[in-house]
Structure 1
Amino acid sequence: MIYPKIPLAQTVVQLCKAKGVKHIVISPGSRSAPLTIGFSNDDYFKCYSIVDERCAAFFALGIAQQLKEPTAVVCTSGSALLNYYPAVAEAFYSDIPLIVLSADRPKHLIGIGDGQTINQKNVFENHVLYTSNLKLDLKEDDVNGVEEVPIFQNLENKVETLLGLKKGIQEYNEEAVDAAINIALVKKGPVHINVPFDEPLYEVVNELSVKPKVTIAEKKLLQVDDSLLEDCVKDWNAASKKMVLVGVNQPNQIEQQWLETLAADDSIIVFTETTSNLHHKAFFPSIDKLIAPLNDEGFEKLQPDILLTFGGLIVSKKIKAFLRKYKPEQHWHIDQNKANDTFFSLNNFIKTTPNYFFSKLLPKTAPIKSDYYPYWKYTQESRLVKHDDYLNSIGFSDLKAFDSILKSIPNDTILQLGNSSTVRYAQLFDLNKTLEVFCNRGTSGIDGCTATAIGCAVGNNKQTTLISGDLSFLYDSNALWNNYIPNNFRIIVINNQGGGIFRILPGHKNTENFDTYFETYHQLTAEHLCKMYGFKYEAVSDEAALKASLNSFYSEDNLPKLLEVFTPKDLNDEVLLNYFKFIG
């Protein structure tokens, strides 16, 4: 087998292999050549070549999201590394294990005007769980770059000292790489390993010169303190209004018995978001549909005594505004790593998994007679009737398009949602419970939705459909510059000729300033991008054409497909705002 000659590159590659980091996304570059040689010549690794580093990092994030295990990205030195930052931040806030391997210049070449060189040390410091700046391998025939080189009395002492330094550097690098990968494995987040290489970069050998020491990553289940559990049981049993709010959540994470127990208690309502991947006939999806029309009296009735949250970030602005104004007496959050005080009332961070906490709490509690659930269930049913009545009364628009599209997605497939208006429209509908739903809600940016969805499609065997707005799609169009897109991958672009969500927000619409700087009106389409990147393309602009196209859109084909849905930009905001008035 061919290996890079540089021991540091061998160390990084061998430790990734030993710890099961199999998927490696590589962007081309010279300084990173030792890593590229090491990964691409070992059949253990599945390597991908993605030119655009921003897209490469989101592509890797999509793979890691599906596999629930670390995926590595490899880039050269300089600004290439900075292009990883949006995906690194998303991984940080979404708890996705991403390993950034950046090649760097030797220390003595940094800050002297050498080409393709920036200050890479700790560049992601605020958005990674761990950062490690490795040490340059020591060459026995060249001590340039070694700090505090001793004055040698004779050649024998010089050789002995150099060997000691070399051993110390190797041990440091092994420990740093080992620790970084373990943290990504255990804590589920991004880590950054900065790897300096000196020339020559392309030399290879047939045998390894290092054998790194490997430590096993151990994750301990955090137990709930007995006194804390007793207090929780006491308060839970005393509260007649308990709200469970679930944010971003991986599919099949919560045991069904605990869902059934929550559903059987009239003092509990469970709010689920589209991204929560939790379903039960007694739960309350489509949060905005329920609470948007409420007045002060309704909010006071909904105000919980105890708010229990788990999962990632919350999409609904309306539920956040409600709970910040009508604060619960207690807010408990369950998570192994972190708790956000989203509603400014957090008083109990339960540092464990939801399954473990429910297994300790719920068997010690009993259902309470309350009108909390019955009242809001009746309200929900009323909203559902009006929801259907409204959809039957309106013409073609974003809302109407989403109704048809979300009903069309095949069972047991994956739905990736773009950010901004896309995920918010999806929140208004009760989704097919067989779907697995994902969205980059860590930072809620539009910058990598397409690349993430493609990585997701590569990381699993299920058909993946991305629904995206036009700006989000065009912004991330380099994501299509990718040789690994499965033929069953589907994209639906809702093209309302600009940032339609800004027409819904407060502001002065229909002015030149608004059209240019907020809505960013355009007349671009995806047609030519599809021709360039090998997608089958179809466009529709009315309900009948949309439904006809969706009938065959998901069927097998020899190319991925994109469906562009054109909606009336000047009507969509009015339709949506009137929707909330109508259902109330």
Structure 2
Amino acid sequence: MIFCGPGEYEKTFYNLLNRFSAAASFPVFADASSSARFPNNKNVITNYNSFFGSEKFINNFDPELILQFGAAPTTKFSLEFFENSKAAKILINEFGDLLDPSKTSSIILKAKPETFLSLFLKKNKLSKRENAYLNSIKIINNWINDFRKSKIEKSQFPFEGKIISEILSLIPSGSNLFISNSLPVRDLDYFAESSNKNIKVFSNRGASGIDGINSTALGIAASSKRKTILITGDLAFYHDLNGLLTAKNYKIPLIIILINNNGGSIFESLPIAKHKNIFNEYFKTPHQLDFKKFVEGYKGNFVNIKNWNSLKAEFVKALKQKKFSVLHFKTDSTKSHSVRKEFREEAVNITNNFINDN
């Protein structure tokens, strides 16, 4: 099993990963922040977080070996699976860093992932073979893909997970996508299907949290010839409002997808959310801000998105702008949380049903 975590990979990495995974018949559990889902690799698995919610999957599909390229995966379920797995675990990254919060890895290789894969393929002749383990995982992944598509299509505007999938359908191939911390990066991991588009994904992971998101995305947009899109939440956007001065002064045409659920809605998944008397004031921290006035103060283009059709029209307009644009979604965090929960529960059921029948 291969875990492809967030990281800065060279262009050759994805082709080498494709060749290696095909030759070894290894499933690639690709964190959406790794860019390994774009373009598509037929062994890339996108629904592994759903698998890890199933005890039956954990008990029946624990591998003998895990190779981890780049940083540790984003989600709690992935980290727990990695920690509890009895597999031999090899970390492969350029500086030989212990990118394993569980500290259960067996070996750390100080090597660029591209170099490791290239040398391994040159020194070892792997004959492609049928692999029931890989095939079973791919079938479960495809079944959950089908369910996810139907679930997203039926979801009411503006479900936050569908915002992610709609933006991915609209982004031109050859673009940069910067994904903010908190819920956006997790929704990307759950709802981003693999695609043949060439999309370079960036994120700020680690102790910095939601600080500096706007400024980092603006730096990427300014230094790249690619179209650059930022998907961010309201608190992360608010934390770095002053970064928009850079957009104004240097006329950087960043497109910002602003998902405004009025506070830190990621905390609604924690037990503290049941204590309404303190949850809103100390955890969710609703702000009731009118972001339009801030954006226009920095000479940006601000649009309230009212439905999916208006998103498509306004996104096309934003791609042609020579200044930054903010496409603003006012969302209902409680409803989005409910849809996420339903999706995860049914995805676990799909996984269990496959295992029961096979």
Q: Same fold (TM over 0.5)?
A: yes
Change in Cα spacing, 1:561 to 1:510, as seen in structure 2 (3 Å) is farther
Provide the residue aligned with 1:530 in structure 2. Answer: 295
Do the aligned partners of 2:46 and 2:141 also contact (CA within 8 Å) in 1? Answer: no
In structure 2, how many angstroms separate the alpha carbons of the residues matched to 1:575 and 1:381?
20
Q: Aligned AA for 1:384?
A: N
In 1: Cα distance, 2:166 partner to 2:40 partner: 23
Mapped to 1, the partners of 2:194 and 2:241 lie a distance apart of 27
Q: Does 1:418 align with 2:176?
A: no
Q: Which runs of 5+ in 2 are unaligned?
A: 349-358
CA deviation vs aligned residue, 1:44-70 (integer Å, no higher than 9, x gap): xxxxxxxxxxxxxxxxxxxxxxxxxxx
Q: How big is the shift at 1:583?
A: 2.7
Q: CA deviation at 1:468?
A: 0.5
Return the alpha-carbon distance in structure 2 between the equivalents of residues 549 and 415 of structure 1: 17
Q: Pairwise mapping of residues 107-506 of structure 1 onto structure 2 (< 5 A)?
A: 243-251=1-9, 252-254=11-13, 256-266=15-25, 268-278=26-36, 279-294=39-54, 296-328=55-87, 330-337=88-95, 338-362=97-121, 363-367=123-127, 369-396=130-157, 397-428=159-190, 429-430=192-193, 432=195, 433-443=197-207, 445-482=209-246, 483-506=248-271
Change (3 A) 1:376 1:434: same
In the alignment, the residues of structure 2 paired with residue 496 and residue 443 of structure 1 have an alpha-carbon distance, to the nearest angstrom, of 23
- Give, in whole Å, the separation in 1 of the partners of 2:17 and 2:252: 39
* Separation (CA, whole Å) in 1 of partners of 2:293 and 2:333: 22
Change in Cα spacing, 1:530 to 1:508, as seen in structure 2 (3 Å) is closer
> Cα 1:255–1:413, aligned 2, differ >3 Å: closer, same or farther?
closer
Shift of 1:364: 1.8
Percent identity for Structure 1 against Structure 2? 25
CA displacement, residues 539-565 of structure 1 (integer Å, 9 cap, x when unaligned): 1244343344334332x2242211111
- Following TM superposition, by how much is the alpha carbon of 1:366 offset from its aligned partner in structure 2, in angstroms? 2.7
Name the CA distance, whole Å, in 2 between partners of 1:314 and 1:258. 17
Q: Deviations over 1:387-436 (max 9, x none)?
A: 11111222122122222222212221111111100111111212543111
Greater radius of gyration (CA)? 1
| In 1: Cα distance, 2:120 partner to 2:321 partner | 50
Conserved? CA contact 2:68–2:90, under 8 Å:
yes
The CA deviation at 1:357 is 2.1
**Separation (CA, whole Å) in 1 of partners of 2:250 and 2:291:** 17
- Secondary structure of 1:271 counterpart: strand
Mean Cα deviation higher: 342-351 or 574-583: 342-351
Distance 1:366 1:411 in 2: 32
**Preserved contact between residue 52 and residue 81 of structure 2 (Cα < 8 Å):** no
Contact 2:45 2:141 in 1 (8 A): no
Letter in 1 for 2:83: R
Could you tell me the TM-score, scaled by structure 2's length?
0.87
State TM-score, norm by structure 1.
0.55
- The structure with the greater share of residues assigned to helix is 2
Amino acid at match of 2:46: S
After superposition, the Cα gap between the structure-2 partners of 1:247 and 1:289, relative to the gap in structure 1 and judged at 3 Å, is closer
Secondary structure at the counterpart of residue 422 of structure 1: helix
Q: CA deviation at 1:369?
A: 4.9
Matched AA of 2:326: L
Distance in 2, matches of 1:526 and 1:489, equals 16
Query: Would you say the 8 A contact 1:415–1:438 is kept in 2?
Result: yes
2:314 match: 549
Counterpart CA distance in 2 for 1:439 and 1:463 is: 16
Give the AA of the match of 2:15.
Q
Aligned residue for 2:29, secondary structure, equals strand
RMSD: 2.1
Q: What amino acid is aligned across from residue 348 of structure 1 in structure 2?
A: I
Task: Read off the aligned partner of 1:568 and give its amino acid letter.
Answer: D
Residues 335 and 350, structure 1, Cα contact 8 Å, conserved in 2: yes
5+ unaligned residues in a row in structure 1: which ranges? Answer: 1-242
- Post-superposition shift, 1:263? 1.9
The structure-2 alpha-carbon separation of the partners of 1:569 and 1:347, relative to structure 1 and needing over 3 Å to count, comes to: closer
* Aligned residue identity for 1:246: C
* Aligned partner letter, 2:280: D
Deviation, 1:489, is 1.4
* 1:582/1:544 CA distance change after superposition, 3 Å: farther
Q: Letter of the aligned partner of 1:569 in structure 2?
A: S
Determine helix, strand or coil for the equivalent of 1:346. Answer: coil
The one of the two structures with greater contact order (alpha-carbon pairs below 8 A, sep at least 6) is 2
Shift of 1:502: 1.0
Distance (Å, rounded) in 1 between the aligned partners of 2:43 and 2:144: 14
Letter in 1 for 2:166: S
Aligned partners of 2:49 and 2:78 also within 8 Å? no
- CA, structure 1 residues 272+581, in 2 after alignment: closer, same or farther (shift >3 Å)? same
1:287 positional shift: 4.2
Question: 1:453 and 1:443 mapped to 2: Cα distance?
Answer: 18
Question: Structure 1 CA distance, aligned partners of 2:200 and 2:31?
Answer: 12
